[in-house]
Amino acid sequence: MEFGEIFRDALKYPISDYKALLIVGVFILLSALVFVLAQFGVDNSTFTLVWSIITILISFLLSGYALSVLKNGIELDDEIPVFDWVKNFVDGIKLFVVSFVYMLIPTIICGIIGFVSIMPALSEMFSSEKLARIGPNADVTVIFSTVPSSVWDSLFAGIAITAIIALILFIIFGLFQTIAQCRLAKYDSLGEAFSFGEIFSDMKEIGILRLIAFLIVLWLIACVIGLIGALITAIPYVGIIITALVVYPFILLYSNRALGLLYSDV
């Protein structure tokens, strides 16, 4: 499908069933209940703690539901799915596992690179010999003033290298995670979500540059809708309720529908 067709369909999809949109909105509102009550001056630490746990459970449910929306998009089913409480909750946990693993890998790699590239400079800056020489009570300003420019150059170079590699890795793994999410929705299998060879084949079939362009457009449209939500939230008391009931569920349905339609060509 062409981008224009995908996004036109995805933007009309959430309002094709107002009842389903509001049901999703109710769950999002419940997950944001602490913030809603804060608007009315209600602030109880015990309730906040308990409801935070409930919010995590609701988040799993909503994540699993989003996966069912994605699956319907892949299958070109125009109906907004109804909640399947147990399956949606389990799917939400599966999606969390997939997202966690795909983000954990670049995080570990970047941590190792950062340690190797930055730690030597930091070790020299805060070496025991230097601290002994300038005195145990010296403040950070004094310590920094004694650091040679070559050490600063090494530190900034290490930070820059780590940041560039991190950006590249998180983009790459983000693309893999996106297609892994599609495969999880389509096949209902964690194994398929970690079939790296098949995922790369899917990416090539869609077109890697096309996938990147799609995600950028998807994100920009979601940002515009989110900005509208932020403006509505500024309305005292009722703004956050309207946003939770309408704007956030619209984004959830729109974004997963669009991704499903893109992957339907695979």
What are the tens digits of pLDDT across the range 45-86? 888 889 999 999 999 999 999 999 999 999 999 999 999 999
SS (H, E, C) 170-193: HHHHHHHHHHHHHHHHHHCCHHHH
pLDDT, averaged across the chain: 90
- pLDDT at position 150 is 81
- pLDDT at position 146 is 67
What are the tens digits of pLDDT across the range 91-120? 999 999 999 999 999 999 999 998 998 888
- pLDDT at position 212 is 96
| Alpha-carbon dihedral angle through residues 16, 19, 24, 30, given to the nearest 10 degrees | 150
pTM above 0.85, yes or no: yes
- Residue type for position 22: L
Does residue 80 sit in helix, strand or coil? coil
Cα 160 to its chain centre, rounded Å, is: 24
The span from the CA of 21 to the CA of 28, in Å, is 11
Q: Which of 109-113, 135-139, 260-264 has the lowest mean pLDDT?
A: 135-139
